[in-house]
Amino acid sequence: MKLTFTDKARDMVMSFMDQEDDAPQALRIAVDGSPLSPNYELTLIDAAARGDGDLELSAGPFTVLVDGDSAPQLNGAKVDFVETLQESGFQITPDPEAVKTALDASAPTGELADRVRHVLDTEINPAVASHGGAINLVDVQGTEIYIEMAGGCQGCAMSRMTLRQGVERMVAQAVPEVTAVHDVTDHTSGDNPYFT
């Protein structure tokens, strides 16, 4: 497993460690949510507080503990510390191949995924196909689904309305267990985006 820290990120971790009374000995990193829309959790802990499945890595002056379930998504990632006018914080940029591998390993399966896919295939995609588009189910996390728009839907100015007024409404009617629909489409790139 490989995880790269920029000099700025390494310095900031050390700065935060120096501010702690108990001087934490490790940085623990975990990922939750879909590989397409991950939430990263960075926590300073005592090295003895490691989880059973944590992997230990060295980042030079400190130890990094990676949650075992998060390792596939974090392999090859880069950790940086960024500062903008409005905020500052750690930014993790995943390796695209690790994301693809994590998605391949967790292709949406199960009853909920099948029911959502049925709604997409029979009710939604025939309508968006007339505009050269398609909407695909790419992940399911609990009762939240992650979709990706393709073809004419990718980059379309109406994509947000299609999501809110079409996809969310129709999925909610047919599969009421779904609590959230997330669009993970990169609307600015692709083979055939509506706008380039």
The fold of 3-104 is: Hypothetical Protein Aq_1857; Chain: A; (2.60.300)
Q: What is the overall mean pLDDT for the chain?
A: 80
SS3 131: coil
Map residue 156 onto helix, strand or coil.
coil
Query: What is the CATH topology of the domain spanning 107-183?
Result: GMP Synthetase; Chain A, domain 3 (3.30.300)
Of the candidates 129, 151, 136, the residue with the CA atom closest to the CA atom of residue 184 = 136
Is residue 8 pLDDT above 90, yes or no?
yes
Q: What are the residue ranges spanned by the domains of the chain?
A: 3-104, 107-183
Average pLDDT over residues 63-68: 86
Per DSSP, helices labelled H in 59-148 are 71-74, 96-105, 111-119, 125-129
Whole-model pTM?
0.56
Question: What is the DSSP code (8-state) at residue 61?
Answer: S
Instruction: Reply yes or no on whether the pLDDT at 193 is more than 80.
Output: no
**Tokens 């007024």, residue located:** 165
pLDDT digits (tens, 9 = 90+) for 133-159: 778 888 888 899 888 877 766 666 666
